[in-house]
Amino acid sequence: MAHIKRIRRELALKAHIFEYYRDTVQTPAGKIREWDFICHPGAAAIVPVREDGRIVLVRQYRNALDRLTLEIPAGGLEEGGKEPTRTAALRELREETGYVGDEASLLLSIRTMVAMGNEKIDIYLARDVQPGRQQLDEDEYIEVLDFSLEELLEMIYGGQIQDAKTVAGILAYAGRYAAEK
């Protein structure tokens, strides 16, 4: 396959969470085109599993969709994107749900929007998480819920859970969980 050459990248907008660029590229046929690029510092998420096997999720409002969503705990990386993703995943677990865990193993890494951005989310698994106290930011309103794996799979295949990181994390856990039985 022929290569596309980037000629120029110009910052169009520096937002709170990401930077938006206009890229000028040359196609293999020699055409000059402008493409959008969203630069994201990265994120981490976690599939928290209690001792009884139930999985902890959060329900929160998402402005982009103008509705509540059901998701695994997740958040952006601190320290300008340099925070270790495992540290961020365990932090988000504690802050969003109040649950704590000492161990977290990497399930998988996903790229959420390859057509226009570079966001990478490392998704971890934490087993035997224990309840604690939520530590929400003043503008966070999060409800903590728990479900069986079977319930979550039904919600994914029934279209009630559509968040990509949550779908990927639950399906990856289901694959690992099924292999351990």
Give the span between the Cα atoms of 17 and 64, in whole angstroms: 14
- For domain 43-180, the CATH superfamily is Nucleoside Triphosphate Pyrophosphohydrolase (3.90.79.10)
Give the span between the Cα atoms of 114 and 120, in whole angstroms: 10
Note the pLDDT of residue 16: 87
Q: Where are the domains of the chain?
A: 5-39, 43-180
Q: Give this prediction's pTM.
A: 0.92
Output the average pLDDT for the chain: 94
- Active-site positions read 138
Question: What tens digit of pLDDT does each residue of 61-114 get?
Answer: 999 999 999 999 999 998 777 899 999 999 999 999 999 998 899 999 999 999
Note the pLDDT of residue 161: 97
Give the span between the Cα atoms of 73 and 60, in whole angstroms: 10
Residue 181, pLDDT above cutoff 70: no
Note the pLDDT of residue 179: 67
Question: What tens digit of pLDDT does each residue of 133-162 get?
Answer: 888 888 889 999 999 999 999 999 999 999
CB 7 within 8 A of CB 21: no
Give the span between the Cα atoms of 131 and 63, in whole angstroms: 28
Angle formed by the axes of helices 164-180 and 149-157, nearest 10°: 130
Give the span between the Cα atoms of 130 and 62, in whole angstroms: 27
